[in-house]
Structure formats: C-alpha cells, structure tokens
Structure 1
Amino acid sequence: MGENVEAPIVLRDDLVQIINGVFKDENVESASMEVSEASGKGDNYLGKLYRVKASGKHGKSISIIVKCALDAKLIRDNFPVEILYQREIHAYSKMLPILYSLQNECHLPNKEKFYFAKYYDSITEIEKETLFIGDLAVEGYKMYNRQKPFDRQHLELVVKNLARFHATSFVLKQKNPTLFDQFSQKVGRKMEYGDNIGMFMEIAKKKCFDTIESAEIRQRVEANLEDFMGKFDGYLDYKTAEPYNAICHGDCWINNFLFKYEGDKVTDMKFIDWQVVRLASPITDIAYVMFSSTDEQLRSNLYTSSLDLYYNTLDKNINMMGCNTAECYPLEVFKDQIKSTMPFGLISAILLLPTVLCNAEDTLDMDIKPEDVDQSVYENLLSKKSKDRLNGVFRDMVSYGII
C-alpha cells in the first residue's frame, strides 16, 4: 500500500492515492496511517468499510471511512450495485449539501437541522465504486445494538430527524421545483431488486405464517398479506404518493442511524448509508423504523404520539423555512398515507427482522446462488427473538387497524 502504512490491511493503489490527497487537503501531510476494518459481519451487506486514521507532524489527526463496493458477480447479478453507489455518491456530493445549505439560507436554528457525514471524494469506475467520508466515530457517534429495540429517547430522536429531513425536501420542492426535479431524477423512483430477492420475499411470506401464535391474527394476516406483498413495488413507486412525495432515506434500518451520548442520555444522531435514497411517501421511512426498530411494548406507548411528533416537527420546520405545510404536505394527506402506506412496515418487518436480530455468524450469505434460495434460508434466520418481535408486529398491525 505504501511505505507510510502501518497496518496489515492492504488497500488498492487508487484508494491510497485519494486517501493521501484527502490528508494533504486536511493539512495532515507526511502522516503515518493506520488501516482497520470499520464494520463487522451483518453491519453492511453491499460494501466493505475501512477506517483509515492518520497523525500528522504537528499532532493533527484525521480519520476517514472508505466504503468499497463488493465486486462479486453473484451480488451484482442480484443487486444494482453500480446504481446504488452512484446514488449514494450523488447524495453525499450534491443533494445533501444543497439541502443543508437550504436550511442555512432559511436561517433554521442548528438544533432543528438534520446532519450527515462529511464527503471527501469518490470513485465511480464500475466494480471499483468507492466513497470517502468522514468518520463519525471521531465525533463520538456510534451504532445502536441492532438486536435491541429502540427505547423512547432513540425513537423520538430518529422520528424528529426524519421529519427535519423530509421537511427540507418539501421546502426545496416548493421553493425550487426545478432543482428538486433534478435531484428526484437521480434517486430511486421504484423498487430495484433481482430474482434472488424476489424469491426470498416469496419464501418469507410463506414462512412468516408459521411464526403467528394467534389463530385469529393468522387469519387476518393471511387475508391481507398477499395483497400487501403485491403492492410492495407500489409503496416504493414515486407515482403512488404524487404530488405529496418527498426525498426519503429509503433504508431506515437500525444500523443506518449513528447516535451520540452524554452519559446514558442520547443527545444527537446522524443518518448514514444513502444508497437507496428515493422519492416516495414519507410514511415509507416512518413505517420502516416503527416496525423494524421498535417492539410491541414501546409501540403500545408511543405509536400514536410518534406520528404526532413527526408531523408537528415537520410542520414546525416547514413553517420556519418560510413555507406552508398545508400546501407541502397537508395533515389530511398525511393521515391518508398512513392508512394506505403503513402496511409497508409489515413487509419490512417480515423481510428485515430475522436478519437484524440474528447473530453475526448467522447472517444471510449475500453470495448465495438463486437456485440455493429455499425455505431453509429464511428458517435459519428465525430466532426466538425474531419470532417474538414478528408476533408483536402482527398483533399491532391488527390492533391499529392497519390490516
């Protein structure tokens, strides 16, 4: 990798060249570098993350995250890896800075802004796609334990920040519709997946019935799940929510939020991983969080209040940025979209919870061949913890009148 690298991990020469350029720009020249893996098994599925730390001559230090796309043919055959990395690079280099600048132009107080990691550079060459961003761990941010459901303070902080992000999107649409349209053309506008994922969805649909403890709940789920699964693409199609769609994060699973703490109190959060940022109903992000990152007990206390918190925060921020929420995203539209789109949370839970809650050594092998995808793949992921959480989702879907 170079004579100034003091680690057993060897990075490609093109990565080293950009890394050294970043260090030079940050005035950390002639640095000694330390390279380590920045993610464990089950933390990230379509990339390899490295942490590169450097110390300069005068005591200045820097740490960056290098996110490299996987080049395995089986993965690229089943996921649009090239598109996803192009999308994330666009998000970090163009879209997010513009949205952040809009918050500044509208004189939004710092405590009301949404934040993200610093962008340094990228490589777009096919099969070498790479993103270079700031290491949020240096600022004290860290992942939540994915096997634990959110508590009140984590959920409320995520809900507020989703509202702040969506609000900025709505304001951009109203104040600069041409620029919004340009951005919306470069984010996801429908669901993208290969045959492998489609087969996994079918198997998950069939096997999830086995986890349902209540005969009454099972009957309700069976009567509706086929319809919901059939609408899966529609939930993520931008046309479904027209004209009240927004730029959404799109992948609101628990590992894509990093939190900062003071003692036991969580004080801040930042979003990461913008590969599936999309134009859709804001409810898709809310449903994703609500039914994949919380449990039945927390929802029993906070489901309704979290929806109120989201809309009140959205309303406040849209108004503070000089626009009218009744025009951007009327309350009656919000309520209608909850009814029509919240079932997306059920599908998200069925597909995601077994993987989120399993141990690292049991995570899904992304290199699995389509012909090897069978019922055992989903069964092997179903721990008692995931079955319990899924039953809570099924019960809540019924009790909240979603199904």
Structure 2
Amino acid sequence: MSENTETAIVLRDDIVQVINGILKNENMEDASLEVSEATAKGDNYIGKIYRVKSNDKHGKSMNLIVKSALAFKTSRETFPIGLYFERETFAYSVIHPTMCELQDELLIPNKEKLHFAKYYDSIVEPEKEIIVLEDLKVDGYMLYDRQKSFDRQHLEIVMKTLARFHAMSFVLKQKKPALFEQLTENVSKVMEYGVNIDSIFIIAKKACFGLIECAEIKQKVEDNFSDFMAKFRGFLDCKNTEPYNVICHGDCWINNFMFKYEDDKVADMKFVDWQIVRLASPITDIAYMMFSSTDEQLRSDCYTRSLDLYYETLDKNITRMGCKTTECYPLEAFQDQIKSTMPFGLVAATMLLPVILCDKENAPDLDKNPEDYDDNMYDAMISQLCRDRFNGVAKDMISFGLI
C-alpha cells in the first residue's frame, strides 16, 4: 500500500497493517491511502478520529473511520480510556450483531430495522487501542451543530430511535433471558473513573451551579445535589432500577448522533460512539440527551410530547416483536423512573454543557496535569450560551417536578 505524501498525517504501522487486512478482505490490494482528521477540536475527547480513503488501480474505493485512543498518561489517569474502547468494540462486535439477528429472526422489515455503522476490526492492546468502522459520511450522514439545540424533528427522531433500541433489550430479556444476561455481563458494572475525575466534576459543579441566576432555584439545586458524585454514581447503578434495565447507549449527547436528510427533512439517524454502553435505566439515555442537547424553549414545547412519543414507539416495537409492554416496562414503571432518574439530566448538563457549547479554541485539554486543575479551569469554556442553557436546565428541573 502506498501512502499519500500530500497529507501530514502518518498512521502507526500497526494501524496501517489492520487497514491492509481490511482492504485485502475486500479484494483491494496495493491501494492508495489518504488520511485526514475526521473531527475538529471540541468534537471528541478521548482520542483521535481519522478519515481514511483508499482507492485501488481498478477504481474500487473504500472509506473508513479509524478511532485511535489517547495514550497520554494524565488522560488515562482520569478516564478509563482502555475500558471505553473495550466496551465500544464489544458493542460493535457482539451487541449490535445480536440485535441485528433478533430483528432478522422476528422478520422486521428492512426499512424498519435499526441499523448500525459497520464494524471492521480493532486493536485492544493498551495505549494502542483503535476501532475501524465504515465512514457514514460517505452515505450522507452528518453531525448536527453541537452549539445549537435540536429542533423538533431532530428531537423526535432521536426519541423514536432510542425507543427502538431499548425495545430490543426488553424483548431479548423476555424471549432469551440467558442470552441477555450473557450479553450484559460486560456492561453491567458501573464504570470506574480515575481519582482525578472527582476533582474535575466538583469544579464543574461549582462553575455551573454558580451560573444559576435565581437564588431560590439555586438553593433548591444545591440542596438536591449537595453530594454530586454520589448522585452521579447512584443514577448509573443498575441495581437501583431493576428489573427495568436495558442496554443503554450511555453517551447520548448531540455529537454522538449522525443524521441523513432527504428534501431538507431528517430521513434517518444512527448512533455513533458506543464507549460508555452500559446496563441502566432507559431514562438515563433520555435524560442525558434531553438536558444536554435541547434548550429551554424546545423542552417547553416538546418535553411531555417527546416522552409520550418515546413510550408509544417503545410499545409499538415491543408488541410487534411478540412481547407485552405491560410486562416488559409498564407505563407506571416508566413514569416512576422519570421522577427518580430524569434528574440525571442535571448531572449530564453540568458535566457536558460547558464542553459542548464552548468555541473550539477553548475546548479542554485532556492531557492537563491534575495539579493544574483549579476553580478557574472552566472560565474560558463558559459562554453566554452555556449560561443561558444551564439556567434553563435548572428551571426545568423544578418546573417539571424533577427536584
């Protein structure tokens, strides 16, 4: 394989070897290789993502995405990056194929199936982890602007797609309980973060809670989230929400959805970035997305309707796969979990909004020394947009009766 000398990006030899193997399986040998950055600063935080385009002498082409883990010591002391890649590999190589087989077995029409990005290969060696996937952009999928709130049509397709994905867990659990248990064994443990994460999250809490303008709202938020880290871990402990846990995407923020459009309307979407796939309440996915990727106005217009749409879609999909929603996830349980688990959205907003809404030049450096963490580390990230959005989250936590 020859490498395009016009690009400054040179992939490691072991990555090139993996790509060579993929191309060989596709009957593409001695192909050219063009490598470019697939994301801008601020779009991804645990590694580098490369777009790889290959062409052979017969005119055959192939487009791949290579996700390569950060190897920086300080990043790995804060985030379980190796576990992220292990879980994402498991999602693509085991969970997704199992769900695709279930849809085939139950004769779900192809146009109504949930589809996932094609997985090709990975490297799991510590500090060298990679995952190689198809490039969805070639098929017309694209990211939304992370600094904008979803509009109604984007929110609706995300809620419907989440419902379809969660429905497969409920059906697997009821129809094939041994398989479901085996499938979820690797993702049922609460993900352990490094010792530095507590410091980062507490600083984020102080910065974001300090943005709340109304003293009464601020006091109520402070009272309900005085032990922020205990709340964070409690929401993600699947023991607290049995027997209604499902396989959750786990990282449902705006940059982890890709959309395809037809005639200026959203025609389809696919989830990407499965590093934090976990067994948890389905509400954790909804809350994470709802309070990180929408604004106060959209929630005012669509919050209740979008929850109804989720449950209607869940019911439709569970029923057509031969199970009863009243047994898998009764409406009363759904409503109870909204009250108990939707406040996770405040945790998600605290952790994510400064990062999501900052300009790329102010995006955080994950290789920062733990000793350098201080109360001012979020100052550059917090914009007026972040201030407005977080105030909206705090208000809605109260107006929706969640805290």
Normalising by structure 2, what TM-score?
Answer: 0.97
Whether the aligned pair in 2 keeps the contact of 1:189 and 1:236 (CA below 8 Å) is: no
Q: Secondary structure at the match of 1:305?
A: helix
In the TM superposition, 1:3-402 aligns within 5 A as 3-6=2-5, 7-226=7-226, 229-402=229-402
How far has the Cα of 1:356 moved from its partner?
Answer: 0.2
What CA deviation, in whole Å up to 9, does each residue of 1:39-65 have, x standing for no partner? Answer: 111111111111110122222211001
Deviation of 1:212 (Å): 1.1
**How many Å apart are 1:297 and its aligned residue?**
0.4
Deviation at 1:187, TM superposition (A): 1.4
- Residue correspondences, number: 402
For structure 2, the 5+ residue unaligned runs are: none
Comparing 221-230 and 290-299, the one that deviates more: 221-230
Q: Which moved more, 1:100-109 or 1:128-137?
A: 100-109
- Per the alignment, do residues 199 and 228 of structure 1 end up closer, same or farther by CA in structure 2, a change over 3 Å counting? closer
Which residue identity does 1:226 align to in structure 2?
S
Residues 251-305 of structure 1 deviation map (CA, whole Å, 9 limit, x = unaligned) = 0011100011124211110000111000000000000111000000000010000
Cα RMSD for the two superposed structures: 1.4
Separation of aligned partners in 2, 1:304 and 1:4? 53
Asked whether the 8 Å contact 1:204–1:378 carries over to 2, the reply is yes
Stretch deviating more after TM superposition (284-293 or 209-218): 209-218
Q: What SS does the aligned partner of 1:378 have?
A: coil
Are the counterparts in 2 of residues 191 and 237 from structure 1 also a CA contact under 8 Å?
Answer: no
Q: Deviations over 1:125-183 (max 9, x none)?
A: 11111111100001000110000000001110011111011001111111111111111
Equivalents in 1 of 2:126, 2:40: separation in Å?
24
User: 1:188 & 1:357 partners in 2: Cα distance?
Assistant: 31
User: Does the 8 Å CA contact 2:198/2:229 hold for their aligned counterparts?
Assistant: no
Q: How many Å apart are 1:228 and its aligned residue? A: 5.8
The CA deviation string for residues 97-134 of structure 1, in whole angstroms up to 9 with x for no partner, is 11111112111233432221101011111111111110
| Deviation of the 1:216 alpha carbon | 2.2
How high is the sequence identity, in percent, across the aligned residues?
A: 63
Relative to structure 1, the CA distance from residue 209 to residue 14 in structure 2 (aligned partners, 3 Å threshold; closer, same or farther) is: closer
Question: How far apart are the structure 2 equivalents of 1:19 and 1:379?
Answer: 41
Does structure 2 conserve the Cα–Cα contact (< 8 Å) formed by 1:188 and 1:277? no
The DSSP-based 3-state class of the residue aligned with 1:147 is coil
Letter of the aligned partner of 1:14 in structure 2? D
AA matched with 2:143: M
TM-score of the aligned structures, taking structure 1 as reference length = 0.97
Structure 1 residue 370, shift from structure 2 partner? 1.7
Q: Report the secondary structure of 1:149's partner residue.
A: coil
> Is contact 1:63–1:138 with CA below 8 Å preserved after alignment?
yes
The one-letter amino acid of 2:222's match is E
Shift in Å, 1:192: 2.3
Superposed CA offset, 1:317-375 (max 9, x none): 01111111111111111100000001000111111101100001101110112221111
d(CA) in 1 for partners of 2:314 and 2:257? Answer: 19
